[in-house]
C-alpha cells in the first residue's frame, strides 16, 4: 500500500535540517488522523440526517448545524494537509524550467509568502473566533466560536509547516534570498503608498494583477497568492481592518452548499477502490473494443459517465486511464496520443454534473444547481461528439489490428457487473435535477450506494481495496481543503475588488463592448480561457463569477447558458499547453513528455473550440431542457 507520507517523505529527505523531518512527520500524522476522523464524522452526520429525513420522514433539526461546524474544521485541517504534503493548487510550468538554484529560491519565496500571510491573519482569526463565542447555534445551543476556532488553529498549523518546509528544503542561500526579496517588495509597497493612493483604481493592477501574477508564476499556491495580495492592498491603500479578510474567508469556506465538496471527493475515491470504475470500462470495452479506434470511444464514454464525481479532473483521469492505456498501447496507439486524448476528455467534461465547478457557481453566483445540472449535459455531449469526430478521423488513417467482436455472453456478463456503475451517475443527476435531494444529500447517498455496491461485488470475487480506505480519506480531506481554502481566500479578494468599485467598472466596461451580447460572449470566452489556464476553474469562478454574472444578466443572457460558456472556456484553458495545469496532469498520468503531447493535442482543442462556439451562440443547447429546473 502506498504510504500517505510518500510526497512528504520525498520533500523532507534531502533537507539540510533533517532532524526536523521526524516532528513534522509526527505532526502530519496527527493532522491526518484528525482530518480522516472529521470526514468520517461528517459523512455519519449527513447519513443520519438523510435517513431520518427520507426513510423515517422525521427530519432532524440539528444535523445541518453539526455538519457545518465539522465542515469548517475539516476544511482548515484539509488545507493544512495540502500544505504539508505539497498538494496545493499552484502553477509550476514556469518554475520547472528554471535552474535548480532558481527553483530553490522560488520555493523559499513561496513558503515565506505562506508563512507571512498566515502569521498576519493569526491574531485577527483569534479575535474573530472570540467574537463568535457570543453567538449560539439555534438547535444545539453551541457557541459558534467553537466552529470559527478552526481558522486560527489551522493558520497556526500552516505557519508551523511553512516554516518547517522552508528550513527543510530551502538552503541558507535560498532562504536569505527569499527573505531579502520579500522585505524589498514590502518596503517598496510601503514607501510608494502615497503614489498608490493617488493612482485611484489603477492601483488594482499593481496588487491584483502584477502581485498576484508574479506570485502565481513563481509557484506560490494560488489561494495564498490571493490572500497576500488582498492583505497588501488593504494595508497599503485602505484603512479596512485585516479582520475582514478572516471573516470573508470564513464566510466563503462555510457556505452550506459547499458541504458537497468533500463528500463528492470521497465518493470519487470510493468509485475507484470499489472497482466500479473498472467494471464500467470493462463493459464499454467489450461493447466497442472491436471497432477501429473503439477504445478511444470507450475512454470518452467512461470520462463522460464518471467525470465530476471525484471533484478532481486529475482523479477522474487517474481512475480511467490505468484501466485502458495498456490495452490501447498494445493496439499500437502512441503514448503521446493517449495523453492528448486524455487531456481533451478532461476539458470536454467540465460541465457534466455533479461537477464541483457547477456547485461552486451555484453557491457564489446564486444560480439554481438543479438548472445547472440540466443545462450542463447537452453542452458536454456536443463537446464529446466533437472529440469523437477527431478520434474517428485519426482512426481512419491509422493502421489497426483486426479484432474480433466480443461474444454476446461476455458483453452481457460485463454489462450485469457494470450495472451499479452505470446507474450511479444517472441516480445522482436525476435526484438533484428532480429536486428529490440537495447536492450534499445526494453525495451522501452516493457514498452509501457505492459502499454497498462494492461490498456486494466483493462477495462475488470482485476485490474491494479496504486497505486503501484510510489513504482515501486523507487524500479526500487534503484535496477538499485545498479547494475550500482557495474559495475562502478568493472570497476575501473579491470583497476587496468590490469595495474598490472595480466590480461596477468591470460590469460597465463589459456591457459597453462592441457587439452587445455577442461581443460580451467573445470577450468572456477569451478571458476565461486565459483564467482557466492560470487559475483553474474554481478560483476563477469565485473571483470573477459574482462580478460578471450580473453583467450577463443585464445583457439578457440566461445565467445557465452563461455558466456553460464560462466553464467550457475555462476547461479549454485548463488543458491547453503551455500553461494549462490539467494538460500537465494528463501527461503525468500518461507517463509521457509534455513536449510530445503538445504537438498532438491541438486537433482536439480545435474541436472543443468549435463545440464551445456552438454552445455560446446557440443558447438552446444550454437552456432547451431546463423546464421547472430553471425556476
Judged against a pLDDT cut of 80, whether residue 268 lies above it is answered with no
Judged against a pLDDT cut of 70, whether residue 565 lies above it is answered with yes
Residues 228, 255: Cα–Cα separation, whole Å: 22
pLDDT band at 520 (very low <50, low <70, confident <90, very high): confident
Q: What is the pLDDT, as a whole number, of residue 591?
A: 65
Least confident interval from 465-474, 543-552, 561-570, 593-602: 593-602
Residues 98, 403: Cα–Cα separation, whole Å: 47
Q: Specify the higher pLDDT residue, 38 or 508.
A: 38
Residues 124, 617: Cα–Cα separation, whole Å: 47
Residues 435, 432: Cα–Cα separation, whole Å: 5
pLDDT band at 183 (very low <50, low <70, confident <90, very high): very high
Question: Is the bond into 71 cis (omega within 30 degrees of 0)?
Answer: no
Q: What is the pLDDT, as a whole number, of residue 328?
A: 64
pLDDT band at 471 (very low <50, low <70, confident <90, very high): confident
Question: Which residue(s) pair with 143 in the sheet?
Answer: 136
Q: Specify the higher pLDDT residue, 91 or 452.
A: 452
Q: What is the pLDDT, as a whole number, of residue 316?
A: 62
Q: What is the pLDDT, as a whole number, of residue 484?
A: 82
Contacts 24+ apart (CB under 8 A), 215-219: 215/113, 216/90, 216/91, 216/534, 216/535, 217/91, 217/94, 217/95, 218/94, 218/95, 218/106, 218/109, 218/110, 219/90, 219/91, 219/92, 219/94, 219/95, 219/106, 219/107, 219/110
- Taking alpha carbons only, the member of 150, 69, 179, 160 closest to residue 119 is 160
Q: What is the pLDDT, as a whole number, of residue 335?
A: 65
Q: Specify the higher pLDDT residue, 47 or 297.
A: 47
For the chain, give the percent of residues with pLDDT over 70: 80
Q: Specify the higher pLDDT residue, 453 or 581.
A: 453
**What digits encode the pLDDT tens for the residues 195-225?**
888 887 788 888 887 888 888 888 888 789 8
> 238 near 207, Cβ under 8 Å?
no
Q: Specify the higher pLDDT residue, 472 or 626.
A: 472
Average pLDDT on 533-560 reads 77
Residues 507, 572: Cα–Cα separation, whole Å: 24
Q: Which residues, 6 or more positions from 127, have their beta carbon under 8 angstroms from its beta carbon? A: 243
- Taking alpha carbons only, the member of 67, 502, 498 closest to residue 244 is 498
Q: What is the pLDDT, as a whole number, of residue 437?
A: 67
pLDDT band at 9 (very low <50, low <70, confident <90, very high): very low
Least confident interval from 262-266, 316-320, 363-367: 316-320
pLDDT band at 434 (very low <50, low <70, confident <90, very high): low
Average pLDDT on 266-284 reads 76
Mean pLDDT of the chain: 79
Q: Specify the higher pLDDT residue, 211 or 391.
A: 211
Judged against a pLDDT cut of 50, whether residue 60 lies above it is answered with yes
Average pLDDT on 386-408 reads 73
Average pLDDT on 76-97 reads 83
pLDDT band at 35 (very low <50, low <70, confident <90, very high): very high
Q: Residue 302: which region, alpha, beta or left (left: phi > 0; alpha: psi -120 to 50)?
A: alpha
Average pLDDT on 8-36 reads 72
**What digits encode the pLDDT tens for the residues 319-331?**
566 556 665 666 6
Buried-state track 46-63, b at ≥16 Cβ within 10 A, e below 16: bbbbbeeeeeeeeebebb
Residues 300, 383: Cα–Cα separation, whole Å: 10
Q: Specify the higher pLDDT residue, 286 or 186.
A: 186
> 182 near 109, Cβ under 8 Å?
yes
Q: What is the pLDDT, as a whole number, of residue 578?
A: 65
**What digits encode the pLDDT tens for the residues 144-182?**
889 999 999 999 999 999 888 888 776 778 888 888 989
Judged against a pLDDT cut of 70, whether residue 300 lies above it is answered with yes
Q: What is the pLDDT, as a whole number, of residue 401?
A: 53
Q: Specify the higher pLDDT residue, 297 or 317.
A: 297
Q: What is the pLDDT, as a whole number, of residue 333?
A: 64
Q: What is the pLDDT, as a whole number, of residue 269?
A: 75
Q: What is the pLDDT, as a whole number, of residue 505?
A: 72
Q: Specify the higher pLDDT residue, 432 or 275.
A: 275
Amino acid at each position: 500500500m502506498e504510504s500517505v507520507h510518500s510526497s512528504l517523505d520525498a520533500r523532507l529527505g534531502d533537507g539540510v535540517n533533517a532532524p526536523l523531518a521526524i516532528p513534522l512527520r509526527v505532526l502530519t500524522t496527527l493532522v491526518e488522523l484528525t482530518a480522516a476522523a472529521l470526514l468520517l464524522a461528517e459523512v455519519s452526520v449527513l447519513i443520519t440526517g438523510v435517513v431520518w429525513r427520507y426513510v423515517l420522514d422525521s427530519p432532524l433539526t440539528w444535523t445541518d448545524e453539526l455538519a457545518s461546524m465539522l465542515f469548517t474544521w475539516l476544511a482548515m485541517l484539509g488545507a493544512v494537509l495540502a500544505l504539508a504534503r505539497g498538494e496545493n493548487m499552484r502553477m509550476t510550468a514556469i518554475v520547472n524550467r528554471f535552474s535548480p538554484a532558481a527553483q530553490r529560491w522560488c520555493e523559499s519565496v513561496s513558503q515565506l509568502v505562506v508563512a507571512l500571510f498566515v502569521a498576519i491573519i493569526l491574531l485577527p482569526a483569534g479575535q474573530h473566533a472570540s467574537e463568535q463565542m457570543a453567538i449560539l447555534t439555534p438547535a444545539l445551543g453551541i457557541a459558534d466560536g467553537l466552529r470559527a476556532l478552526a481558522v486560527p488553529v489551522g493558520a497556526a498549523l500552516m505557519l508551523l509547516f511553512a516554516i518547517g518546509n522552508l528550513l527543510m528544503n530551502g538552503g541558507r542561500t535560498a532562504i536569505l534570498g527569499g527573505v531579502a526579496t520579500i522585505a524589498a517588495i514590502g518596503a517598496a509597497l510601503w514607501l510608494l503608498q502615497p503614489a498608490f493612493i493617488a493612482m485611484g483604481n489603477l492601483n488594482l493592477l499593481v496588487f491584483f494583477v502584477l502581485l498576484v501574477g508574479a506570485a502565481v508564476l513563481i509557484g506560490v499556491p494560488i489561494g495564498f497568492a490571493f490572500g497576500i495580495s488582498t492583505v497588501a492592498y488593504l494595508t497599503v491603500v485602505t484603512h479596512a481592518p485585516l479582520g475582514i479578510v478572516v471573516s470573508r474567508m470564513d464566510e466563503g469556506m462555510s457556505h452550506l452548499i459547499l458541504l458537497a465538496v468533500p463528500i463528492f471527493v470521497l465518493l470519487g475515491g470510493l468509485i475507484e477502490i470499489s472497482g466500479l470504475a473498472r467494471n464500467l470500462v470493462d463493459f464499454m470495452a467489450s461493447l466497442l473494443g472491436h471497432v477501429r479506434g473503439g477504445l478511444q470511444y470507450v475512454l470518452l464514454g467512461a470520462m463522460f459517465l464518471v467525470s465530476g464525481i471525484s471533484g478532481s479532473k486529475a482523479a477522474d483521469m487517474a481512475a480511467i486511464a490505468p484501466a485502458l492505456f495498456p490495452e490501447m498501447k498494445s493496439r499500437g496507439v502512441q503514448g503521446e496520443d493517449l495523453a492528448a486524448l486524455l487531456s481533451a476528455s478532461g476539458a470536454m467534461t467540465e460541465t457534466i454534473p455533479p461537477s464541483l465547478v457547477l456547485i461552486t457557481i451555484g453557491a457564489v453566483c446564486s444560480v439554481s444547481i438543479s438548472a445547472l445540472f440540466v443545462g450542463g449535459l447537452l453542452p458536454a455531449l456536443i463537446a464529446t461528439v466533437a472529440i469523437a469526430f477527431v478520434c474517428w478521423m485519426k482512426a481512419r488513417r491509422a493502421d489497426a489490428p483486426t479484432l474480433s467482436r466480443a461474444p454476446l455472453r461476455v458483453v452481457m456478463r460485463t454489462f450485469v457487473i457494470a450495472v451499479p456503475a452505470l446507474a450511479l451517475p444517472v441516480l445522482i443527476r436525476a435526484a438533484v435535477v428532480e429536486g428529490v435531494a440537495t447536492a450534499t444529500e445526494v453525495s451522501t447517498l452516493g457514498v452509501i450506494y457505492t459502499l454497498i455496491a462494492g461490498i456486494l461485488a466483493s462477495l462475488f470475487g470482485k476485490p474491494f481495496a479496504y486497505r486503501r480506505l484510510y489513504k482515501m480519506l486523507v487524500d479526500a480531506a487534503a484535496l477538499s481543503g485545498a479547494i475550500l481554502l482557495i474559495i475562502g481566500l478568493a472570497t476575501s479578494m473579491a470583497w476587496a475588488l468590490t469595495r474598490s468599485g472595480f466590480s461596477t467598472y468591470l460590469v460597465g466596461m463589459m456591457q459597453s463592448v462592441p457587439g452587445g451580447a455577442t461581443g460580451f460572449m467573445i470577450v468572456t470566452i477569451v478571458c476565461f480561457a486565459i483564467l482557466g489556464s492560470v487559475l483553474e476553474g474554481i478560483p476563477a469562478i469565485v473571483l470573477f463569477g459574482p462580478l460578471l454574472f450580473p453583467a450577463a444578466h443585464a445583457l439578457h443572457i440566461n445565467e445557465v447558458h452563461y455558466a456553460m460558456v464560462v466553464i467550457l472556456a475555462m476547461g479549454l484553458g485548463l488543458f491547453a499547453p503551455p500553461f494549462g495545469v490539467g494538460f500537465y496532469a494528463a501527461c503525468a498520468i500518461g507517463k509521457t513528455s509534455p513536449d510530445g503531447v503538445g504537438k498532438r493535442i491541438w486537433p482536439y482543442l480545435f474541436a472543443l473550440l468549435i463545440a464551445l462556439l456552438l454552445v455560446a451562440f446557440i443558447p438552446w443547447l444550454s437552456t432547451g431542457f431546463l423546464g421547472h429546473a430553471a425556476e
